[in-house]
């Protein structure tokens, strides 16, 4: 009874059921310190040989109480905290929060600010997918893509650093627009990066897409149907790989996404290979969006008229954006004071992680690793 | 006593010390082989990191010594000084013996590896059989390590490993048999299992067995080359120690010196299987084209290769030293690197001396062929993702085994037609 989880475990860890040849099942604890759980995820596997009979996720090792912190900070002060949730895609987190508060205040960021937001958010999507690809491939045993993707992601981080001084937790946006005007040469830097990264994505694909071992390891692994995805609330590339064409950038355009021409890549089988292809295609679409945004960036102010002390009217708001990992939503309840009454984040990683059990059932131990990788979770966002 | 020692040096003695029954020279050879293999393992450690790093747009170890040349020594020192942990609940005795058994199995193989017509510890008429038998004992050490650790990850790793090694030994055996079949294509129609005999058969048939009955020999060679990667648990067949799944597989609970014994065993195993492949299919110690290019001038040209290799390495080191930053910190490093290059150049000069030159020929070509295999091992690791367990079994039983069997039958048929 020392382990508080054992009492409520759906795996019924104490029971000794007999399986084939009267052998007992093996309970394997994976994590929180394990090279392939992407941080501090703990997974308890119930195995029959190498076959997974069931699994249970235990989370909370990285819980920092971000939502509670929000209740003791002003709206502007809480802004940097959201970057620490999905630290791989900090720009998207900030974008979602700023837009939610703007909606609550009923102000709108000026067009130039919105274009800058789109450029940075899409750059961040590429960075996030690159990190996913590197770690996912490493989990499946291909070491080399990791170093290629990190090399190229570095260029994005350099642009972030030049823009706002930070590389990872950028805090790039402010409520009402952007604090910083773009630096001289920003557009050239972004264009140079786009020309540079296109061939690099081809390079990753060359290593993996037709690689026999890669295809065997990912095809028909962790299959999830579109219906199950919707039932579980799974969003993002995982949902799209199952054939559901749902992307908030098209469905409920925020920022200036309605100005841009791009496609939503979808898969058909909903397996790990399709999710891989969808994310690779998404990187290319991001390049397309950024190119249009850089070409069409208007001049003008970058900050809307926002009072020095932000005091939204009483009310509540839910605003969601398409983060690299799926639907990232912010629910903010305001009691009219300078601090939010309650902030609730709908993190894509947390919701997507629910599908792990369904996707891993009756697969092998090695597939669990592949599925954790393909879900693209960030534990900072799961635990908050 | 002195007579006993010098008797082997007689020009008329054309056999290995083991066959000549000369225990003194056998012991000297054992020490040479053991020291040599250990040295190669140390070099491999550095080379693998460097080559892997350069394939992955990194630079690899750079801090300990110039270009990280002293890194293996630093690592070895660290491993020796580390706390020796035996987990609670582990079976201490079995835990102790597991790495020793792996080492014993791997190093016993070197008894019959012919580095030259007389450069082997001994030659047995069942050499190949002995080799396969002893090397497959290694799986016992792995199972023992997995069991004795009393932990789940090592247990699963050990189970995977034993299943994998047993399956791939079948395909390996079939490939080997077709090579042995080829040795019997002589006037007497008698084949041989002796490692030296197999190389001599290739010599007398004027062809490496990899190119015999093209493409049959080549297919058998490829089957062996794939199976040997699986046999040594290297990428893409490194499931027993799949880092992302089983943390470190069967040696998860091992640390310090005992862990380094596992590593020594793994790398020595790689060299051992590479030398089997070299002996069986790539003409063992023979230099390329000994029959086509047989003029003394060619002999002379090929005998310069060892020295040229070392001169090339020395040149690379000097180039590296010259390229180093001209600051006081790097001056010492540059001097060290240049000194290392000087040693390499000196070895090259020694290898130019006529008696050394002719004596070293066999060993040089044998080691050069093994080095090619070792490079491939590193290249695989940088390129391929890892197979899943069921897919690995599928490749072993459903692809390699039928192919090996088919090649064996076809080789036999071709032998009947040719003979």
Query: Which residue of B lies nearest to A204 if distances are taken between CA atoms?
Result: B383
Interchain proximity A28–B387, CB inside 8 Å: no
Residues A324, A231 share a domain: yes
Residues A209, A297 share a domain: yes
Instruction: Answer positive or negative: Cα dihedral of A17, A21, A23, A28.
Output: negative
Question: What is Dmax (Cα atoms) for chain B?
Answer: 72
Selected residues 155-184 of chain B with any CB under 8 Å from a CB in chain A = 156, 160
For chain B, say whether A13 makes contact (Cβ under 8 Å): no
For chain A, say whether B58 makes contact (Cβ under 8 Å): yes
Task: Report which of B318, B311, B319, B315 is spatially closest to residue B346, judged by C-alpha positions.
Answer: B311
Interchain proximity A137–B385, CB inside 8 Å: yes
**From the CA of A145, how many Å to the nearest CA of chain B?**
8
Spell out the domain ranges in chain B: 87-286+378-418, 288-352
pLDDT per position as a tens digit, A300-311: 888 888 888 888
B157 CB-near residues (< 8 Å, 6+ apart): B142, B146, B240, B241, B242, B246, B248, B249, B250, B251, B252
> Considering A61, A92, A108, which residue would you say is the last residue of a domain?
A61
Placement of tokens 């299943």 in the chain: B163
**From the CA of A137, how many Å to the nearest CA of chain B?**
7
Residues A168, A281 share a domain: yes
> Considering A37, A61, A85, which residue would you say is the last residue of a domain?
A61
> Considering A15, A38, A61, which residue would you say is the last residue of a domain?
A61
Q: What is the pLDDT of residue A7?
A: 44
For residues A119 and A239, give the distance between their C-alpha atoms in angstroms, rounded to a whole number. Answer: 24
Residues A144, A16 share a domain: no
Q: What is the dihedral of CA B205, B207, B208, B214, to 10 degrees?
A: -110
From first to last of the 419 residues of chain B, give the pLDDT tens digit: 777 777 777 666 777 777 777 788 888 888 888 888 888 888 888 999 999 999 888 888 888 888 888 888 898 899 889 888 888 888 888 888 888 998 888 888 888 888 888 788 888 888 888 888 888 888 888 888 888 888 888 888 888 888 888 888 888 888 898 888 888 887 777 788 888 888 888 888 888 888 888 888 889 999 999 998 988 888 788 876 666 667 677 888 888 888 888 888 889 989 999 999 998 888 888 888 877 777 788 888 888 888 888 999 999 999 988 888 888 878 888 888 899 999 999 998 888 888 888 778 888 888 999 999 999 999 998 888 888 888 888 888 999 999 999 999 998 888 888 76
For chain B, say whether A144 makes contact (Cβ under 8 Å): yes
Residues A88, A17 share a domain: no
Residues A86, A50 share a domain: no
For chain B, say whether A300 makes contact (Cβ under 8 Å): no
Residues A53, A155 share a domain: no
Task: Report which of B271, B231, B265 is spatially closest to residue B136, judged by C-alpha positions.
Answer: B231
> Which residues form the domain of A57?
1-61
Size of chain A, expressed as the number of residues it contains: 384
Selected residues 242-281 of chain A with any CB under 8 Å from a CB in chain B = none
Interchain proximity A367–B243, CB inside 8 Å: no
CATH assignment at residue A228: 1.10.645.10
Residues A57, A83 share a domain: no
pLDDT per position as a tens digit, B339-378: 999 999 999 888 888 888 877 888 888 899 999 999 999 9
Residues A139, A37 share a domain: no
Residues A22, A149 share a domain: no
- Quick check: B375 and B51 in contact, CB under 8 A? yes
Residues A310, A192 share a domain: yes
For chain B, say whether A148 makes contact (Cβ under 8 Å): yes
Q: What is the pLDDT of residue A58?
A: 86
pTM of the shown model = 0.85
Residues A159, A253 share a domain: yes
**Looking at the predicted complex, does its ipTM rise above 0.90?**
no
**From the CA of B25, how many Å to the nearest CA of chain A?**
45
The number of folded domains in chain A is 2
- Strand residues in chain A grouped as ranges (E): 26-30, 42-48, 51-58, 173-174, 177-178, 315-323, 326-334, 340-346
Query: Which residue of B lies nearest to A211 if distances are taken between CA atoms?
Result: B384
A-chain CB neighbours of B236 within 8 Å are: 141, 213
Instruction: Establish whether the linkage from the previous residue to B236 is cis, with ω within 30° of 0.
Output: yes
Interchain proximity A144–B58, CB inside 8 Å: no
Size of chain B, expressed as the number of residues it contains: 419
Task: Report which of B71, B73, B65 is spatially closest to residue B334, judged by C-alpha positions.
Answer: B65
């Amino acid at each position: 009874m020392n382990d508080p989880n054992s009492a409520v475990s759906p795996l019924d860890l104490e029971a000794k059921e007999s399986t084939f040849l009267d052998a007992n099942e093996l309970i394997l604890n994976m994590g929180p310190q394990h090279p392939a759980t992407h941080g501090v995820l703990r997974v308890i596997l119930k195995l029959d040989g190498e076959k997974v009979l069931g699994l249970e996720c235990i989370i909370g090792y990285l819980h920092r109480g971000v939502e509670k912190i929000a209740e003791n900070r002003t709206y502007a002060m809480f802004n940097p905290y959201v970057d620490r949730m999905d630290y791989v895609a900090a720009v998207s987190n900030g974008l979602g929060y700023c837009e939610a508060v703007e909606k609550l205040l009923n102000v709108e960021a000026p067009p130039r600010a919105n274009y800058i937001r789109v450029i940075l958010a899409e750059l961040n999507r590429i960075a996030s997918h690159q990190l996913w690809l590197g770690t996912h491939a490493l989990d499946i045993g291909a070491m080399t893509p990791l170093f290629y993707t990190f090399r190229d992601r570095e260029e994005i981080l350099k642009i972030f650093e030049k823009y706002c001084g930070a590389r990872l937790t950028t805090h790039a946006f402010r409520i009402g627009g952007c604090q910083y005007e773009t630096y001289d040469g920003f557009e050239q830097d972004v264009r140079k990066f786009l020309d540079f990264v296109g061939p690099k994505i081809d390079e990753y694909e060359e290593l993996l897409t037709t690689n026999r071992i890669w295809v065997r390891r990912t095809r028909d692994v962790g299959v999830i149907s579109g219906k199950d995805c919707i039932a579980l609330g799974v969003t993002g590339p995982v949902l799209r790989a199952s054939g559901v064409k749902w992307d908030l950038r098209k469905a409920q355009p925020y920022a200036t996404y309605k100005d841009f021409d791009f496609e939503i890549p979808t898969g058909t089988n909903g397996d790990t290979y399709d999710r891989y292809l969808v994310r690779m295609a998404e990187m290319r679409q991001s390049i397309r969006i950024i190119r249009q945004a850089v070409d069409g960036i208007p001049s003008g102010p970058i900050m809307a008229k926002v009072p020095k002390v932000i005091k939204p009217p009483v009310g509540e708001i839910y605003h969601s954006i398409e983060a690299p990992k799926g639907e990232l939503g912010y629910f903010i309840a305001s009691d009219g004071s300078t601090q939010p009454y309650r902030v609730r984040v709908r993190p894509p990683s947390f919701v997507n992680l629910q599908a792990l059990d369904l996707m891993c059932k009756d697969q092998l131990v090695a597939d669990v690793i592949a599925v954790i990788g393909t879900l693209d979770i960030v534990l900072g966002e799961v635990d908050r | 006593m002195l007579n006993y020692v010098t008797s082997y040096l007689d020009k008329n003695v054309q056999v290995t010390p083991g066959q000549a029954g000369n225990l003194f020279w056998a012991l000297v050879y054992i020490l040479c082989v053991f020291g040599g293999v250990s040295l190669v393992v140390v070099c491999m450690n550095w080379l693998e990191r460097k080559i892997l790093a350069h394939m992955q747009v990194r630079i690899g170890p750079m801090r300990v010594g110039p270009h990280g040349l002293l890194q293996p020594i630093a690592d070895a020192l660290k491993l020796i000084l580390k706390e020796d942990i035996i987990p609670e609940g582990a079976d201490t005795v079995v835990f102790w013996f597991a790495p020793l058994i792996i080492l014993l199995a791997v190093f016993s193989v070197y008894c019959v590896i012919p580095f030259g017509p007389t450069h082997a510890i001994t030659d047995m008429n069942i050499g190949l059989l002995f080799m396969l038998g002893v090397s497959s004992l290694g799986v016992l050490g792995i199972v023992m390590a997995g069991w004795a650790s009393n932990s789940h990850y090592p247990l699963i790793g050990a189970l995977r490993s034993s299943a994998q090694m047993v399956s791939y030994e079948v395909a390996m055996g079939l490939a080997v048999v077709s090579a042995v079949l080829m040795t019997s294509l002589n006037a007497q129609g008698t084949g041989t299992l002796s490692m030296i005999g197999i190389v001599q058969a290739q010599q007398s048939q004027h062809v490496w067995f990899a190119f015999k009955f093209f493409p049959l020999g080549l297919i058998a060679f490829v089957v062996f080359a794939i199976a040997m990667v699986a046999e040594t648990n290297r990428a893409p067949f490194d499931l027993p120690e799949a880092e992302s799944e089983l943390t470190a597989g069967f040696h998860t609970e091992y640390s310090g010196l005992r862990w380094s014994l596992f590593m020594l065993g793994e790398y020595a195993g790689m060299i051992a299987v590479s030398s089997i492949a070299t002996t069986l299919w790539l003409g063992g110690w023979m230099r390329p084209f000994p029959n086509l290019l047989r003029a003394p001038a060619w002999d002379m040209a090929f005998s310069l290769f060892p020295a040229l290799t070392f001169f090339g390495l020395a040149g690379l080191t000097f180039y590296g030293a010259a390229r180093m930053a001209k600051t006081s910190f790097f001056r010492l490093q540059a001097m060290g690197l240049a000194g290392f290059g000087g040693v390499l150049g000196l070895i090259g000069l020694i290898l130019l001396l006529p008696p050394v030159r002719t004596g070293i020929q066999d060993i040089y070509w044998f080691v050069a062929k093994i080095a090619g295999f070792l490079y491939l091992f590193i290249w695989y690791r940088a390129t391929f993702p890892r197979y899943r367990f069921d897919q690995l079994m599928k490749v072993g039983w459903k692809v390699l085994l039928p192919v090996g069997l088919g090649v064996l039958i076809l080789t036999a048929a071709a032998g009947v037609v040719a003979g």
